[in-house]
A and B are shown apart, each in its own frame.
Chain A
Amino acid sequence: MTTTSTAAEALAAGSPFAALRDQLLTAAETFAADAADAPDAVSGILAGIVADVDRALREPLEIFPVCHHSPASALAMARRLREKQPKVIYLELCEDLRPLLDELRNCRLPVALQAFASDLDGFPPGWGPLSVVAPITEASAEYQAIAYALDTPGVEIVLVDRSSDHVFQWLPREPPAAAPQAGEGEAEDASLHGDAVGIEIGDLRPGFAELEEHLLHHGKVRHWSEWWDQYVEQPLAGADYETYRQVMVLIGSLFRRLRPSASSARSDRRDEDRERYMWTRMREHLAATGADPAECLYVCGAYHAASRVAEFGLHAEPTDYAIEPRTATRWLYGLIPSSHSAIEAQFGLASGSVSIAAATWAKALAASGVKPYRLQGQQGGKSGKRPKRAPAPAAPAPAEVTDRLSGFLARPPALSGLDEAELLGWCVDIVRLARRNGYLASTADAIAVFETSILLAGMRNRARPTPYDFQDAAVTCIEKDVVPGRRDVRRLCEILLGGDRIGQVGYHALPPLAQDVYDRLAPLGLDLTKRTQQRALLDLAADPDLEPCSQLLWMLRYLLPDGAVRPIMGARRLGERPIQESWDLRIGAHQREIIELGYEGVTVEQVLEQRLRRSVWDPQATPAVALKAVEDAILYLGSRRFTDELGARAVELLAAERTVDDAPEVLRRIRRLLAHYRSTEPELPAWCESFVTEGYAHYCTLLPTAFVAEDTGVRQVGAMLGFLFSMEGLALSLGCDRAQLEIAVRQSHPEAPAKVALLWAAQTQLGMMTQAELRARCAELMDNPLVLPAFPQYLSGFVQALEPVPSLTPFVVELLSTAFGRLPDAVLLPWLPTLITTLRKESPELVPVLVREAGRTFPASLPALDAWTPPWSARAKGAAPSAGPSGGGGPVAALLAAHPAPTDAVAALLGIDAPWAPAAPGAGEAAGHPEAAALLAAHPGTATAVAALLSPALS
């Protein structure tokens, strides 16, 4: 427990609380007699609490303790403001959020004030972006104070808490904890705040789990909100101001004193720092403006009202506390929509509790007749006329402090009686709601729920059923073994008792970017404030005016998370013009994201430009990323200057790259970009040319290494070769040297079979190897039983080679067919899945090429298959006659044909028994006698001699 200094415990002389203090001390002594351990601690705490209350109430600056989402606080605030009409209100809220308050009137509550920083200066770099949100609901004391101050002339509202910058400055310098997880179910609404740090006024909760558990256990309630509602909220709802103040300070002090010293030391220090900060700011303000403290009101959490820092109070001794300067971080401010469930998720409240608080507030207003303050022009809710300022009654000075605590503590809470009509209404409504959600509920159930609620409340010592009892009763009576629809009874009860309310930031409170988005989407004719999904149909051919809308939607799709805008029909690709598009829009539900875009720039284009620029200047950026950015820039922005800038960066990145990992991606993208520029512009942009020449040189240099490096895949090498071969024409025209490529290929000595195959393919393409040689090599491989098991890998290599050397396609089809025919099953079968996955995953664009070629090669019908011989074996067979040298034609052949005897004799001598083929007509007459020609070619002596002999005769 926090130790207590006895000086602080001493009550001021003549305190009205002396009697109470004595009574408590006596009780502590009695109690200490039972529990032998640390009797002083108990009396210390009890006396301390009384002293805290006494001190807070004696303070000349009126302290108004509040608790968050407490209708009782809001009610007391509204009453007090009417009564006192203060001139200055000090509010416990980050001081830098002040300008946002005026914008609240343009919004539908709940919304959250947000401070946002992405360019950090003075914080660890990993922290960004920093975001602070302070949600404001209608049923809160702070809203009452804000509404009063803003709408009453001559009243000033001063936010006195530390700035958003200090919130993070005071955080421990460790990686921030994971963002609180949004609850299940309605997760989308619950995550409205993103991962911002939440702050709220009057956070009041026991400082340690054991105390909370104890309170819940003995209060026979399930969660904190219920406890609070039953034991503080309800009794205080009708209490007078003095009692309200004293009880709130008492509770604040109690929770403050009952906390384990070790674990909370840090948060204690932070809280105390905040109190010093606030009091310092208030004293500064009072000194600067000369306001009368009697006309001021300090609104802070009950916890801070029971503060014991040295700076507490207007008449505190001066200390050496100085406010630390802010860091150089630039903060941006805005309002974002919030919701009850988001508030519950962020601050760990029971689900539904904020909604119930809102319902209680409405009811309390009706019951008490108090007129709440409400900002002029506020959207939503009932439009009440602003209360005119009453002729100011002389602000009653905080009257003589009297002890209201003793009475309050001694009496059991006076609860309002059973509100039968209200409960009946709930019962009927829940049954109706349940029926609509698929439950077989009937009037009998309504009766049962009513009865069970009352019985449950009786069992839990409550005079009237609370919403929580009602919820339990409804679950008992209506919920059966299965939930028929999307929502169970518990959730239905939450909806019934108020349901989630989602706020909305009004147009005028939006940042320029968001306003711009709304303006530009106006031609669509949709109500973009709706949170539901809406379908937008854009017939661009019929209505070209919608083109800017389409352009904006594509940019938003790029910038916003999934689901905000989703194209159903239509695509943005290079070289395509949209004709019709249809979109699913949920702009209203993603208002926060659009507002946060507004922190990055003034228009969507600017934000997009920044994002693209940031992506290419990222230390991790690769040429593929830069090319993608270029493509996006062409698609969405269309600015030549900007694409050139990005392109130039792509060239730089390519030159600096040491690996070829994303070569396939680079190849794909640059091909697409080149095709785009060729079709749309008279000449290629300079950066494209330098990208190609740079790439040619770069990949040539890396080729030998890539061929041998084990961590470079076949696909990468294939893509490199693809780049080199397909860009060759362009590169050579720009001054590259083909010798560079040839040398690079000659220098490559791969060992992996797949890469060897690639190299062969490359050599074929470069003319360093003929297809016949290639075929022969493959045949050799297949004949060699030692290499046979590795043959599939060669095949994989050839498949990849289709990319750089498309002319190999018939050969690859041939090779695949041969492999399927000849490879033993043991080798073939394990490889087949690999082939299929390779084809599907890595080179889907090659499959159609292969299939088309195969379609050309193989017969289309079954009967044709019987008669079919593969073209390659036909070629092998048919090639034999024509393959040999055709020998000479013309006169020699004619002569021989005319005098066959000598030739026959020679042939007989040599053992050749071949008939004379009839001479082909025309020029190649001897072409039909290859045997003879071959013979003659082999033994030319005879023929020469005969020719010499006959030459005179012939000539």
Chain B
Amino acid sequence: MSAEMLRAPAEVKYAEELDWLESVDDGPKPFSWRLSPKMVRIFILGSERSDGLEREIPQKWFGDRSFVERAIVTLASDRGLLLIGDPGTGKSWLAELLAAAISRNSTLVVQGTAGTTEDHIKYSWNVSMVIAKGQSRESMIPSPIMTAMEQGVIGRFEELTRATSDVQDALISILSEKYVSIPELDDDAVVFAKPGFSIIATANSRDRGVNDLSSALKRRFNFVRIPVVSNKKSEAEIVRFRTTELLRRHSIELELPPTLLDILLQSFADLRAAAASASSDDEKLESALSTAEQIGVLEDAILHSHFFGDRTLRPQTLAGSLVGSLARRSPEDLAILNKYWHGVVEPRSKKEGGPWQEFLDGGRQALETLS
């Protein structure tokens, strides 16, 4: 099944692993959960020898263990889970993994946008069917959240804060009363949530202030803040993990040299430090410089060298992709990158030589082309 999909959801991709975990899981399971909380944690964070499992489970989400534990525990409790953090910190990925592990279905997703209406959260009507047969459960189109309620599984709400506040508030009754009433119907007019239903929402902390959550809604969510990964070692892990996955998806055979990965991580670390010390927005790159951004740069470089290069990843290509993806505003971003290239990369290439020299040349060329 996964072979025909561009991107298989986690429950499909790791179906075999989940089956196995379910078969060996003897821990207590809350509600209709497919795995016990401990197994969910093992599925997401990978197994260790001390867990006593016969096969090794690879780590799929990288970050502090307590975040995952708190997230799982929240889902087992009465409240919804709100993952909040900067863009590219892996909130949606964690939400998907949690939903896949707990209910084997991570696709019941509502995407929050400015155009999201209450219908998207509750239900809407199949108009032609209503005309033909009248309003009934049959002619009703349940939203993903309502479907999740009916099935007793996890529903997801992506970018909650992008939806307007009144739409967000439709979740209040769903989260507290755990039912949706359908006033249009005379009988069978209430959809009750089955045990196991909960909501994982994600929110971008950069959007704070656009559509603030009401306090009533805040109270019904437990907030778990996912920080930007600043630990170089785990960041390298994440980039390697995600890139390998991307390469497989594009079926590209390409070696990722560790030195290049170091260069990429180092550049991002430098740029982040520069952004942290900048005093105004004009002195910062527009990009949040998240881990996801790094993966994007690397993917771009890989695709470029695969299709237009000699199928090996070179520092020049990486530099070009870095400049290309980070220079969003002209002239501010270009000026910052130019400063970085001449103030940091140049001295470093003189000191360390090797791939840094090529990285320097590549970056210069890219900057010249853009300027």
Contacts and interface: CB of A to CB of B under 8 A. Distances in A.
B223 A440 contact: no
B217 to A, nearest CB: 10
A749 interface: no
A479 B223 contact: yes
Interface in A471-493: 472-473, 475-477, 479-481
Interface stretch (A453-461, A569-577, A762-770, A826-834): A453-461
Contacts of B224: 476
B72 A218 contact: no
Given A218-B50, A440-B218, A472-B66, A480 B76 contact: no
Interface string B66-97: 10011011101111000010000000000000
A218 B47 CA distance: 11
Given A448-B77, A472-B70, A481 B84 contact: yes
A459 B208 contact: no
Interface residues of A, number: 24
A481 B223 contact: yes
B215 interface: yes
A442 B218 CA distance: 12
A480 B223 contact: yes
B69 A456 contact: yes
Interface in B40-57: 41, 48, 50
B299 to A, nearest CB: 31
A440 B205 contact: no
Contacts of B203: 481
A448 B37 contact: no
A220 interface: yes
Given A452-B77, A477-B79, A222 B219 contact: no
A361 to B, nearest CB: 26
A444 interface: yes
A292 interface: no
B249 interface: no
A5 B208 CA distance: 64
Interface residues of B, number: 28
Contacts of B218: 440, 480-481
Interface centre among A218, A451, A458, A459 (most CB of B within 10 A): A459
Interface in A431-452: 440, 442, 444-445, 448, 451-452
Contact of A455 (B50, B65, B73, B223): B73
Contacts of B38: 459
A222 B73 CA distance: 17
A455 B77 contact: yes
Contact of A460 (B69, B215, B219): B69
Contact of A476 (B41, B73, B78): B73
Contacts of B69: 456, 459-460, 472
Given A218-B50, A440-B215, A459-B41, A448 B70 contact: no
Contacts of B208: 481
Given A455-B37, A455-B73, A220 B65 contact: yes
Contact of A222 (B41, B66, B222, B223): B66
Nearest to B69: A459
Nearest to B66: A472
Contact of B70 (A220, A445, A456, A480): A456
Contacts of A481: 84, 203, 205, 208, 213, 218, 223, 225
B205 A476 contact: no
B38 to A, nearest CB: 6
Residue from B70, B78, B84, B215 with most neighbouring chain A CB atoms (10 Å): B70
Nearest to A477: B222
Contacts of A220: 65
A481 B218 CA distance: 9
B219 A455 contact: no
Nearest to A475: B70
Contacts of A456: 69-70, 73
Nearest to B50: A218
A459 B66 contact: no
A472 B65 CA distance: 12
B257 to A, nearest CB: 27
Nearest to B212: A481
Interface in B218-237: 218-219, 222-225
Contacts of A479: 223, 225
Given A481-B84, A481-B208, A459 B73 contact: yes
Contacts of A452: 70, 73-74, 77, 222
Nearest to B70: A476
Contacts of B78: 448, 451
19 contacts: A220-B65, A440-B215, A444-B219, A448-B79, A448-B222, A455-B37, A455-B76, A458-B37, A472-B66, A472-B69, A473-B70, A473-B73, A476-B73, A476-B223, A479-B223, A480-B223, A481-B203, A481-B208, A481-B213
Given A440-B218, A459-B38, A476-B74, 15 more contacts: A218-B48, A218-B50, A222-B66, A442-B219, A445-B219, A448-B222, A455-B37, A458-B37, A459-B41, A459-B72, A460-B69, A472-B70, A476-B73, A480-B218, A481-B205
